[in-house]
Amino acid sequence: MKRKFIYICLFSWLILAGGCWNRIEVENLAIASALGIDKPAQGDSNQVLVSILVEKPGEAEEGGGGRGTSGASSQMSGWVNFGEGNSVEDAIRNLSTTTSKRLFLDHSRVIILGEEKARGGVGDIIDFLVRSRFIRLRNLLLVASESTALDTFSITPELTNIFSEEINDLITLSAPRGANTHAVNLKDFLIDLSIYGKEAVLPLLEIRKVPVEQSPENASAASENLQQKYKKNARLKGLAVFKGDKMVGKLDDMETKGFLWIIGESHSGTLTFDILHPETKKPVQATVEMTRATAEIDTEISDGKPVIRVKIDTEGNLGEFSEPNIPILPGVMELVDQGYARNIREQVKLALNKCQKEFQSDIFGFGARLRRQHLEYWKQNNLQENWTNIFPEIEVQVEVKANVRRSGVVLDSIELR
């Protein structure tokens, strides 16, 4: 019996070691690097249009000139295809009928939502994104500003060979230096949609047209046609504000900076403002480069009403002083500190007014903070249901402490003769 048991175990091991029963060779896969979700331009408004961007084999190593297209535009950064359906899953299945290889979504890095789709609500696609074992939670989410996700795939990457990689680097490496956007991945977005007292935001992706330099031999032909050639590039500009699962508006660059100050995510960037010089009594423009910033949000109940207190502590360096031949005395640096703090308060006020009075959307998470710090008050006043109505009238007190520590490699302005 013991010998038979060993033989059975060896036989079972041989069967299991035979290889992967459901293997698919990599050359038979269409590996998508980006995914787009739109509302169809025509037809049933309840349908979904799903587009994919697939890098052809070898394109990751080659230059942009050797890229393939999907027939519609020679500027497509790879192979683009799309399908429509009654749901995201249905649209992907229909997309597969025009794709000669099996779609592979596991390596996608970017998911782009068309603005019309975002304004109409994304609740119908959330279930698919959560359930699908092929969609990674670290995918970056963006909204195509005044455009569709499919249109953004016509952007040709310049500094990388892959569209999704360029967008990833743009939003995680470059854009934070200007403090005018906020990176959000799928996991963050799902958490914001599920927390009471907190609304979601997504970065806005804008398509810009940049004039193309023409060769001398084509200059005469261009002058006759009077048509300027353009190429498309990407720009991150502000944030899309959500209320529930629907996009309700946008924050511009200044309002986005105010939002980042409040949540403590403004880690870089510059502020330019005017101060009144104590000697000349004339306005002088100063630019401060932010080097450090922290934010603290506290809540309290005063006279039966919630009050939000935001404390911002920041430091910076003097990056530019527009007036030459004027010594930068200690009194001048105090004015720079005051101007720095005043400018921050103005940006914060812009963001608060936009979200409280126009959008009625608590993207700052004040309600979630109030719920954690005053749970009994939250329950007694049924704020889980009423916070949207109360938030526009909430008093928000902002305190800013700003300190410009250094003036650069020179102490005073350069003296010009």
Please give the structure tokens belonging to residue 165: 């990689």
Return the pLDDT at 65.
39
Nearest CA to 85 among 40, 47, 38?
Answer: 47
- Domain membership of residue 239 (yes or no) is yes
Which residue among 243, 268, 285 closes a domain?
Answer: 243
Summarize the confidence of residues 50-75 as an average pLDDT. Answer: 56
Same domain? 235 vs 264: no
- Given a cut of 60, whether residue 69 has pLDDT beyond it is no
Summarize the confidence of residues 390-403 as an average pLDDT. Answer: 95
Same domain? 218 vs 310: no
Q: How far apart are CA 146 and CA 393, in angstroms?
A: 31
CA 154 to chain centre: 19
Same domain? 198 vs 276: no
Same domain? 160 vs 187: yes
- Domain membership of residue 58 (yes or no) is yes
Q: What's the structural domain count of the chain?
A: 2
Same domain? 58 vs 87: yes
- Domain membership of residue 6 (yes or no) is no
- Given a cut of 50, whether residue 71 has pLDDT beyond it is no
Which residue among 243, 278, 297 closes a domain?
Answer: 243
- Domain membership of residue 111 (yes or no) is yes
Same domain? 48 vs 185: yes
- Domain membership of residue 138 (yes or no) is yes
- Domain membership of residue 218 (yes or no) is yes
Return the pLDDT at 29.
84
Return the pLDDT at 20.
62
Q: How far apart are CA 260 and CA 181, in angstroms?
A: 8
Q: How far apart are CA 349 and CA 347, in angstroms?
A: 5
- Given a cut of 70, whether residue 408 has pLDDT beyond it is no
Inter-CA distances, 324 with 278, 340, 348, 415, 417, Å: 15, 20, 31, 6, 10
Query: Percent of the chain at pLDDT above 70?
Result: 84
Nearest CA to 93 among 124, 131, 50?
Answer: 50
Which residue among 186, 216, 243 closes a domain?
Answer: 243
Residue 405 — very low, low, confident or very high, per pLDDT cuts 50/70/90? confident
Same domain? 63 vs 82: yes
- Given a cut of 60, whether residue 223 has pLDDT beyond it is no
- Domain membership of residue 174 (yes or no) is yes
Q: What angle do CA 353, 115, 349 make, to 5 degrees?
A: 10
Same domain? 221 vs 300: no
- Given a cut of 90, whether residue 119 has pLDDT beyond it is yes
Return the pLDDT at 409.
46
Q: How much is the mean pLDDT over the chain?
A: 84
Same domain? 30 vs 59: yes
Same domain? 312 vs 225: no
- Given a cut of 90, whether residue 230 has pLDDT beyond it is no
Summarize the confidence of residues 322-346 as an average pLDDT. Answer: 83
Specify the pTM: 0.85
Return the pLDDT at 187.
94
Same domain? 223 vs 336: no
- Domain membership of residue 162 (yes or no) is yes
Query: Percent of the chain at pLDDT above 90?
Result: 51
Return the pLDDT at 374.
96
Same domain? 221 vs 264: no
Summarize the confidence of residues 220-234 as an average pLDDT. Answer: 65
Each residue of 253-262: pLDDT tens digit?
999 999 999 9
What DSSP character marks residue 86? S
Summarize the confidence of residues 304-310 as an average pLDDT. Answer: 95
Which residue range is the domain that position 145 belongs to? 26-243
Residue 39 — very low, low, confident or very high, per pLDDT cuts 50/70/90? very high
Summarize the confidence of residues 127-144 as an average pLDDT. Answer: 90
- CATH code, domain with 342: 3.30.300.210
Residues 104, 32 contacting (CB under 8 angstroms): yes
